[in-house]
Structure formats: structure tokens, C-alpha cells
Amino acid sequence: MNVVDKLIDETSANKSALQTLNEMIDGESPETKSMKNLIAMVAQTDSTALILGETGTGKDVVAQAIHKCSKKKGPLVTVNCAAIPSELLESELFGHEKGSFTGADKLRKGRFEQSSGGSLFLDEIGDMPLPLQAKLLRAIESRTIQRVGGADDIKIDLRLICATHRDLEKKVENGEFRADLYFRINVLPINVPSLAERRTDIPNLQIKLLKNLNLDQTAEPVFTADAITALSKHNWPGNVRELKNVIERACIIFPGKEITSLNVYENLLRLKVPTVAEEQNAIWDMTADLGGINDLLDSDLPEQPEDYLPHPKNYKNWFTFYDEIDLRRHLQDVEIVLIEQALEKTGNKIAHAADKLKLRRTTLIEKMKKYSISKVAEES
């Protein structure tokens, strides 16, 4: 019987805690189950927890799960050590006495005191300045703190949770992180797997993220089976945070619409969303290599030279990629390009250019005026 099963069998309170854990952390992959086991272990104690993992894996969610599944009744207080300037971090953590420095016009309790009876989550502890690491080590070992400018020891009762995406062992070797602090906080490390390591969790994560993001009850996009497969094959360098962004992007671009694997690759992962300007050039991008487009669209067009023009048949799939097109402006842009090319090819001879375009010379002149084509054209 693993720790999670044992936790279920113990008390109703523990059952409630485990239910909370499963609600907070989706996934049944072996990697996720192993992580849940460790969370269940550390939640039953007051030991310091060290959460390790890449950026975007959800280390903050693990910290919240440890706190909610524990016996601590106090608050969870979070401090991002990388986001606060080093000269302010000490006061932020330990508080300060009135008059301890310029601007300290009143006593202020720090995050250690604010988290009394609960948990203090030090996110990105690997970025904490070395001088402050010594004071943190003293607080952990003595279970007391001193405010900035104060001399009295203040007892603290809390669980410390630390997290980092840094390689702390390497930072210790480089003299950038205190070895004694590292060994003190590395009681029960919890490694949060990357999304690429838990691909089988992606379908469930996609469903939960879609539900959480669609708070305004707009029509949800529908991911086809091949779209889910495409999501599962992606490497996800940004991990769960990147997946959340992709799902949110899907809600914005495809509300109430079906999402295929092609949409995933072209519109969600690559963010190939047409702007007004891009709409005018998009057809050239789509038909620049008709060999590839033919494979994509199962086209039965005959083989043609490498420099052949786009075939009108390829326009039939325009609305597979885009919601609309400014047809009038698009056709104007096509005319401008072809007129300019015809003039260049004929040495700016209007009559010859008109012949190439199958237009009357006067019609070509009118179009040049209309589109403000200012090439110096010679009469032939």
C-alpha cells in the first residue's frame, strides 16, 4: 500500500486532504503519482520541503497542495525571492522596527511573522542573496527571527516551503549558495516533472484548463482527437504555463469551433493569427510551395514548374485557416503587384505592359493613377 492509499484509509480528515490534493494536481501518470506520494508524506509533518523543477511546471501549485493537505491552520504566505530587490528582501522577510532606517515610520511585521501557524513559501530561493542566506539559516535552526533594527528574538511557528528552478548543487559548488543552508532545506526534495515527462496527463490537463479559463461561459473550442495528439507530441519548453497559454489562445481564436491538429501547429503553437495586414499576403504564404500545400490539402493538381503561379483551386481552403478576408483590398494588392512587375519586365513601356496584362493601354493608365503607381513609364 503506497502513502496515498494509506492516507485514504486513516481518517476522514486525511481523506478530505487527499481529495483536495487530487483536485489541485491533475494527472495519473507514474511521474505525477510519485509526486503526489511525496506531497502526502511531507504534508503530514512540519519538515521543510524543497520543491525542484523547471520554470512553468507548477511548483507554486505543489506548495499550495502541501499547505492545504497539512494540519496547519494558518495562512500560506508567499515570497518570490527573485522578484524583490536584495536591499528590500530582508525587511520583507523579517520585518523592521520603527526608525530602523529612513522611511521606517512604523513597526512592520515581516512574512515570517505573518505566516505564523501556517506556511511560508520562499519561491526561487536559489536567487536569494548570500548575506541573507545566513540569516535565513539561523531562523530555520533556532525557530526565531529578529526584525531589522531590533534586538529581541521572536519565536516563529510555521512550516517552510522552498522552491527553485536553479541547480542548487551546482550553485553550492560555485559558491553562490550556502552549503549548510542547502543541506538544511533539502530534507525531502520534491521533483516536479516537466510536462514532456508526463505527456499522458495532457488530455486531462487540457480539459481542466479549458474549464477554468472559460469563466465567462463563452462557447468552448472543441479539440479533436488528432488535436489532442498534436498537443501531446509537443515538447512544451514552457511546461504547464505554456499549455495554459495555448488553451487560453484557443478560447480567444476558436470560440465554439473545432480545433484540428493543423490549427494546433499553425495557430496555437506558432501563434500564426492573421492580422489585417497579414491577410493581404497570407495567400502567397499558403501557395508559395504548392508541393507542400498539395500534400496538406490532398490536392490533385498536376505537377508544374517550380516557379508556377498559385492555382485558384487552393483558395477553396482559405477559410480553413482564416475567418474572413478583405477580398476587395486583396484583389487590389494582387493588381498592384502584377502591374508593377509587368512595367518592370517591359522597361516601363506602358503599351507592352498592357499587352502582358491583357488590358487596354488606357485601362492600365487608369489603374496606375488609381493605385498611385508612380513609375516613370515610357510611351512606345
The pLDDT tens digits of the residues spanning 117-153 come to 999 999 999 999 999 999 999 999 999 999 988 889 9
Quickly name the fold that domain 3-193 has.
Rossmann fold (3.40.50)
Please, what's the largest Cα pairwise distance for the chain?
99
Beta bridge partners of 123: 80
CA proximity to 65, closest of 28, 104, 24? 24
Weakest mean pLDDT among 138-152, 255-269, 273-287, 346-360 = 273-287
Average of pLDDT values for 63-89?
Answer: 91
Within 10 angstroms of residue 200's Cβ, the number of other Cβ atoms is: 13
Burial 150-159 (b: 16+ CB within 10 A, else e): beeebebebb
**Residues of CATH 3.40.50.300 domain(s) within the chain?**
3-193
Residue 307 has a pLDDT of: 45
Q: Which three cell numbers stand for residue 266?
A: 499553425
Antiparallel, parallel or unpaired: β 76-80 and 154-155: unpaired
Weakest mean pLDDT among 153-162, 236-245, 296-305, 343-352 = 296-305
pTM of the model: 0.67
Report DSSP state, residue 298. T
- For 196-269, which CATH class? mainly alpha
**Residues of CATH 1.10.8.60 domain(s) within the chain?**
196-269
Residue 140 has a pLDDT of: 94
The set of residues, in sequence order, having a beta carbon less than 8 Å from that of 179 and lying 6+ positions away, is: 172
Average of pLDDT values for 63-79?
Answer: 92
37-56, pLDDT tens digit by residue? Answer: 889 888 888 899 999 999 99
The set of residues, in sequence order, having a beta carbon less than 8 Å from that of 96 and lying 6+ positions away, is: 104, 107, 108, 110, 147, 148, 149, 150
**Residues of CATH 1.10.10 domain(s) within the chain?**
327-370
Pick the residue with more confidence: 95 or 12?
95
CATH of 327-370 given 2.40.10, 1.10.260, 1.10.10, 3.90.25: 1.10.10
User: Averaging pLDDT over each range in 38-47, 221-230, 344-353, 355-364, which range is the top one?
Assistant: 221-230
Residue 336 parent element (H or E): helix 327-345
Answer whether 246's CB lies under 8 Å from 211's CB.
Answer: no
Q: Which three cell numbers stand for residue 245?
A: 497559454
CA proximity to 159, closest of 183, 126, 188, 133? 188
Residue 37 has a pLDDT of: 86
Using CA atoms of 148, 149, 155, 160 in order, give the dihedral in degrees to the nearest 10.
10
The set of residues, in sequence order, having a beta carbon less than 8 Å from that of 349 and lying 6+ positions away, is: 343, 377, 378, 379, 380
pLDDT over 50 at 327, yes or no: yes
Answer whether 202's CB lies under 8 Å from 223's CB.
Answer: no
Q: Which three cell numbers stand for residue 377?
A: 513609364
Residue 291 has a pLDDT of: 44
Average pLDDT, the chain: 83
Answer whether 297's CB lies under 8 Å from 314's CB.
Answer: yes
Pick the residue with more confidence: 274 or 329?
329
Count Cβ atoms within 10 A of the Cβ of residue 324 and give its class: 0-12 exposed, 13-18 middle, 19 or more buried. Answer: exposed
Res. 30 pLDDT band, cuts 50 70 90: very high
Residue 302 has a pLDDT of: 46
Secondary structure class of 287 (helix, strand, coil): helix
Beta bridge partners of 96: 108, 148
